Chain A
């Protein structure tokens, strides 16, 4: 138990569906992240949020839309995905940049399959 909870753990969707991934952290952190891990590839950073503001978008296609309503919750809205978007999506959190030790706390991930 890392204090970062992701739901759902598994998701299967068609290319025309709209779905969302949810992440919640109970650690009092102010920064939250989405990472993508495709089969046999390194983790790729997608988005970074600090104090609810997006501070980084690593050229992620617009079919992935993040939302951070508060420092404890992070969503990834999915729309018209492609089969190559099938991957493990990992959420992480950390203390804010001014006080952090660089330690990220990851959730268990949401395994997405796009048919």
Chain B
């Protein structure tokens, strides 16, 4: 799976949009971009994933650049409960060995009141 690079930490004001970047310059055509988050001392939680089109769900939006070398996770109206470590993961969905995900260091997002 391709490697991803994320900033170690970011701050955001409550009620504002949080834009979390991820670089995945070695991504291949079969690899999807996944985002998970982990609130302190809890298990990671799936947020969203995409291949090349922008995606939106009730939690967030995922913007993938045209060359697919980077992406941005957008939390449109961040709340204090969005404070967590956010992981950007690239994975080939056609793997047969289960949905193994390789987690990196992630970005610690702190939402401030």
Interface residues of A (CB under 8 A from B): 2, 4, 31, 33, 35, 42-43, 45, 48-50, 55-56, 88, 90, 92, 94-95, 97, 100-109, 111
Contact = CB atoms under 8 A, between A and B. Distances in A.
A94 B43 contact: no
Nearest to B103: A43
A31 to B, nearest CB: 4
Given A42-B103, A42-B105, A102-B49, A55 B43 contact: no
A45 B43 contact: no
Interface of B: 32, 34, 36, 41-46, 49, 91, 93, 95-106
A30 B9 CA distance: 35
Contact of B46 (A45, A49, A97, A103): A103
Contacts of A55: 97-98
A56 B43 contact: no
**Secondary structure at chain A's binding surface: helix, strand, loop or mixed?**
strand
B42 to A, nearest CB: 6
Contact of A107 (B43, B101, B104, B106): B43
Contacts of B101: 45, 102, 104
B102 A45 contact: yes
A33 B49 contact: no
Given A102-B32, A102-B91, A104-B101, A97 B96 contact: yes
Contact of A42 (B34, B93, B104): B104
15 contacts: A4-B43, A33-B99, A35-B103, A42-B105, A45-B102, A50-B98, A90-B44, A94-B99, A97-B95, A102-B49, A102-B93, A103-B99, A104-B101, A107-B43, A109-B41
